[in-house]
Structure 1
Amino acid sequence: MHTRRTKLFVGVSAAAAAALMFAGCGSSTPGQSKDDEAKGGGGAGSTTTIQFWHRTFTPPENAWYKDIVKKFNDSQSEIKVVDTEVPADAWDQKMKAAQAAGKAPDIYTHSGSIQDAVNAGQLHKLDGIVPDDALNQIIDAAKPVSELDGTYYAYPLLLEAQSVLFWNKDMLQAAGIDPEHGPTTWDELLADCAKIKPTLKSGQYCIAPAQDAATFAWSTVGQQYNFAGHTALTDDWTAPDIDDDGYRALMDDYKKLWDNGYMPKQPLAAYVEGKDFGQKKVAFKVSGSWMMSEIGSDYKDLLAKTGVGAFPNAPDAGGRTATTLGNFKWVVDAKSQHADAAGKFLTWAIAGDPANVVPFFVDTQFTKVPVRKSVQEAVAKDEGAANAPWSDIVVNQIAPTAIPEPTYPWDVSLAVGTAMESVMKGAASPDKAIGTAEAAIKKVISSQDLASKAPKN
C-alpha cells in the first residue's frame, strides 16, 4: 500500500508457503523449467528474462506499471520483463516465502526503510548497475530512503506526504467556518470540530484520523516530531525517547477527539483510502497525499469542494513538520542472477527519460512527489497541473519540510502506536502507556543490538 504500509502477517511458515507457491516450477520464470532458464541466461542472441513484482495500487498506478513494462519490452529484444502484480495484503507473505525459497524476483517495489533489508543482505547495490548520472539526479529529500553510507540500494519512484488534512468545503461552510483555509493548529482543529458537530447528520463525524496502533505507528511519526522535537529513540539508538510532555500532549489531543465524539468509534474506511470522505461521512479526513488520486477517480464531484493542507501543528511546534515522507522505491534482489538486466530496466523505466514517468504523476492526479527535478518540471508543464491546485500544496508546501520515515525497526514504531491507541481509547493513562512502550522498545534495542546499527549521520 504506498507507504501506506500493510503490517499484516499471515501465520503460514515461509517454507510451507514457498512449497505451495513454487511446487512444480523449479525456475523463477512461471512455466519455465530450471534447465530452460539456464539456456536463456544471456548467451549471444538470447533474451534475458527477469521477474518484476509490484504491489496492487490504485487503478491508474496499476495501469502505468503494466504499460511501462510493455513499452520496455517493445523497445528492445535483449531483456524480457515478466510483470507480476501482488495484492497489497498478500505482499509480505509472498515476498517472505519467495526469499526463503531463494526465488525472490529480480526487481521489485519496496516501501519504508531499506536499513533492515540491507543488513539482511537482501538488496543489490545499484552503484555499478545504474549509471552514476541517474543516481545523482535523486533529490536530497529522497536520499535517506535510497542510500546508506554513500551506497545506493534503491531508486525511488515517488515520495508521498503521509499525513495530510483534507476537508469538505461545503461541510465547513455550513458550520460557519472559512472553507478555503483549514485549521493550522490542534487548538483550531478542536474548535472547528466543536462548531461542526451540531451540524452533522446521524452517521457523520467531524474527522477521520488514524485510530489503531499499526496505523498510528507509521502515520504519526511526523506528528511525534512536531510535538516533541524528536522521534522514538535517542540519536544513538541506545534508549527510548518518548517519556516527555510532547508525547503526552499528542496522545491527549487524540483522546479529546475520541472523548468528544468528533471521530467514529469504529473506522468508516481505512486510513489510506478516501471512501468515508468521498461518501461525505466526515468533514475532515487525515490520510496521505495519495488520497486525492482516489477522489479524482471515484468522487469527481468532490474535487472542487475538497480543501487540502498540512496537518495541524502542536502549539509550540516552532515550524517543525507534522508529516513524514512515505515512498515507493524499486530495488534489485541481492541474489538476482540478472542484476545488470534488472538495472537496465530500472534505469530505462524510472531513471531515464522523464516522459516515461510523467504519465504516472499526471494520472494519479498530481498527488505524489517526483524524486528528480527534471520530472518535477515536466509534470508541472502538463496542462492538467493548472487544474490541480493541491499539487503545489503537496509538492512545494508540505513535502520540502517533511521528515523521512524512521530507519529504526518497525517494532519500535508499533510500541508507540500501541501507546497512542490505548491512551486515546482510555485503556491506559499516558504514564502507564508510555511505561509499557518503553519496556517494549528496550527489549528491541537489546535483542537487535540497535546501538551498533544507529545511523552514522
Structure 2
Amino acid sequence: MMTNNISRRTLLGATGGLAAVSVLAACGSGTPGEPAPTDTGGGGTGGSAAAVTTIQFWHRTFTPVENKWYESIIEQFNKAQTAVKVVGTEVPADAWDQKMKSAQAAGKAPDVYTHPGAIQDAVNAGQLFKLNDVMSAESLGEIMDSAKPVSAVGEDYYAYPLLLEPQAVLFWNKDMLTAAGLDPEKGPETWDDLFALCEKIKPTLKKGQYCISPAGDAPTFAWSSVGQQFNFNNHLALKDDWTAAAVQEPGYKALIEVYKTLWDNEYMPKQILAAYVEGKDFGEQKCAFKVSGSWMMSEIGSDYPDLLTKTGIGKVPSSPDAGGRTTTTLGNFKWVIDAKTKNSQAAGDFLSWAIAGDPANLVPFFVDTQFTKVPVRKSVQEAVAKDEKAADAPWSEIVTNEIAPDAIPEPTYPWDVSLAVGTAMEAGMKGASSIDDALATATAAIKTVIDREKLPEKAPKQ
C-alpha cells in the first residue's frame, strides 16, 4: 500500500505548499499555457515526423497513486501508436484555477484537461468541444446514466468521466461501537438512530474523543450537505424554474435541527478536528463516526492500515420521512477537450484510447485507489470487480451498489446559492441566530444571486 497518502479533495482545496507546475517526465516536455506544437521528433515510438501531432494534457495534482496512473496512461498511449504524442502536465491544485483562467483568456488552454463538477457553465461559455464530433457513439454510449448529467447537455457530450464518488458517506470505528455494547456491523439508518448510539457511546469516550465528526463550517456544508438537503426536502435550494429560493420550508429547518442536536449535546466537537475531506481524526480514533466522501477509505487503507478491517461504512443517516431518498451527491472528475483546440481529433483519439477504450487501462486506477471510486462504464466496473484484490475490499460493493446508484448529481446553480445554505446551516447549528432567521437570511442572499445572475433564464429545461 502507498504511504503518505493525502485525500484528493484535500489536495484540491490546498491553499499553500506546491508552487510549481510539474511536467511529467515520461511524457516529454512542454510549456503550460502554450499552444500544442506539431512534433518533429517522431512522437512516442518513432515514425514519420510529419505525421505526429502533439497535444497538451493538464491534470491537477491528486494523490500519489493517481498522479502515477496519469503518468503511466500517457506513457502507454505514446508507446501504443505513432500518430499522436501527448505531453502531460501536473498542475498543483492551489495554482489550477488561476493558471487555467489565464490560459483560457489568452487562447492558450491545453487541448485536454481534467474538469470537476457541472459542465453547464463551461458549455454556456463556449469553453468545451463537443465530443460527439471526435468520439464514436459506441464509446459515448458506454457512459452510465448516473454520469450523463455531468457529461452531456441533451444529446451532446462535452466531457468523458473518469470516475464518480459519493461525497457523503458514514464511516464508523467498529471497536468503539463494541466498547459501548453496540453492534459493530450495523450503522444507523436515521438521525434518531444515530442520536441513540451517541448516547451510549459518549460515556465510553476519553477526553478529546467524540461520537461523530461531520461537516462543521459553512463552505463545507455548502457542498457536502446537498444530498442531505434532497433527503429532507425532495428538492434543492431553488424552485424548479430558478425564480426563487426554496429553503424556508420544514425540511430545511429539520435538517439544521439535526446538526444543532449534534452540537448542543456535544456529540460533535466544537472545534473541527480535521477537514471534512480528511480521515486524520478518524484514523487517530478521535471519533466513533466520521462523515466524509468515499475517498476517505483510501486514506485509511494507506495511512492507518490497522483500521481498515475495523472500519464500517454505510449511508449517511436519513430523515425518517425521506422514503428512501439518497443522502449524497456524486462528485466526479472528467476529461474535456478545449473548444479552441486545433487538434480536436487527436485529442478525441487520446480520450477514446485512454478512458473510453480497453477496461484494462483503467483497472489499476480503481484498484490502487482502494476501490473507493465508481467507474462510469459497466465494462470497467466488471473488470475492477474481477481483480483479485477486490475480495479484500468489501466496502467497494457498498459504495458501488448501495450508495452510488441513487445519488444525485451536484447542483448546476451558482456556488453562491449553495454557500447561502451552508451559512444558514452553520448559523442555525451554532445558535448564532434562530433557524428561522438563518433561513430567511439565506433566502435574501439567494434572491440577490438570482437577480444578479438572471438565473430564471438559465434554469434547466423541464
TM normalised by structure 2 equals: 0.91
1:183-194 equivalent positions in 2, closer than 5 A: 183-194=188-199
Q: Which amino acid aligns with 2:156?
A: T
Distance 1:85 1:336 in 2: 19
Q: Deviation at 1:87?
A: 2.2
1:54/1:86 contact within 8 Å kept = yes
Secondary structure at 1:142 match in 2: helix
Secondary structure at 2:461 match in 1: coil
Question: Deviation string for 1:319-363 (max 9, x for gaps)?
Answer: 111111111111111111222111111111100000000111111
Q: Which amino acid aligns with 1:319?
A: G
1:116/1:409 contact within 8 Å kept = no
Match of 2:242 in 1: 237
Q: Which amino acid aligns with 2:193?
A: E
Q: Which amino acid aligns with 2:434?
A: S
- The reply to whether residue 292 of structure 1 matches residue 280 of structure 2 is no
Single out whichever of 68-77 and 135-144 deviates more from structure 2.
68-77
How many residues were matched structurally?
A: 442
1:39-438 equivalent positions in 2, closer than 5 A: 45-438=50-443
Q: Which amino acid aligns with 1:447?
A: R
Q: Deviation at 1:8?
A: 8.1
1:3/1:326 contact within 8 Å kept = no
Secondary structure at 1:413 match in 2: helix
2:65/2:368 contact within 8 Å kept = yes
Q: Cα 1:239–1:168, aligned 2, differ >3 Å: closer, same or farther?
A: same
Secondary structure at 1:113 match in 2: coil
Q: Which amino acid aligns with 1:170?
A: D
Q: Which amino acid aligns with 2:31?
A: P
1:40/1:49 contact within 8 Å kept = no
Secondary structure at 1:159 match in 2: strand
Secondary structure at 2:253 match in 1: helix
Distance 1:306 1:32 in 2: 44
Q: Deviation at 1:103?
A: 2.0
Match of 1:29 in 2: 30
Q: Which amino acid aligns with 1:29?
A: G
Distance 2:402 2:156 in 1: 29
Segments of 5+ residues of structure 2 without an aligned counterpart are 1-6, 23-28
Single out whichever of 339-348 and 43-52 deviates more from structure 2.
43-52
Q: Deviation at 1:144?
A: 0.6
Distance 2:124 2:14 in 1: 22
Distance 1:289 1:31 in 2: 32
Q: Which amino acid aligns with 2:68?
A: A
Distance 2:173 2:445 in 1: 39
Secondary structure at 2:396 match in 1: helix
Question: Deviation string for 1:391-440 (max 9, x for gaps)?
Answer: 11110011111111111111111111111111112111111111111111
Secondary structure at 2:289 match in 1: strand
Q: Deviation at 1:242?
A: 0.6
Secondary structure at 1:401 match in 2: coil
Segments of 5+ residues of structure 1 without an aligned counterpart are 11-16, 22-27
Distance 1:440 1:278 in 2: 38
Distance 2:77 2:34 in 1: 25
Match of 2:26 in 1: none
1:111/1:328 contact within 8 Å kept = yes
Q: Cα 1:303–1:413, aligned 2, differ >3 Å: closer, same or farther?
A: same
Q: CA RMSD in A?
A: 2.4
Q: Cα 1:37–1:401, aligned 2, differ >3 Å: closer, same or farther?
A: closer
Q: Cα 1:431–1:454, aligned 2, differ >3 Å: closer, same or farther?
A: same
Distance 2:12 2:383 in 1: 32
Distance 1:411 1:49 in 2: 39
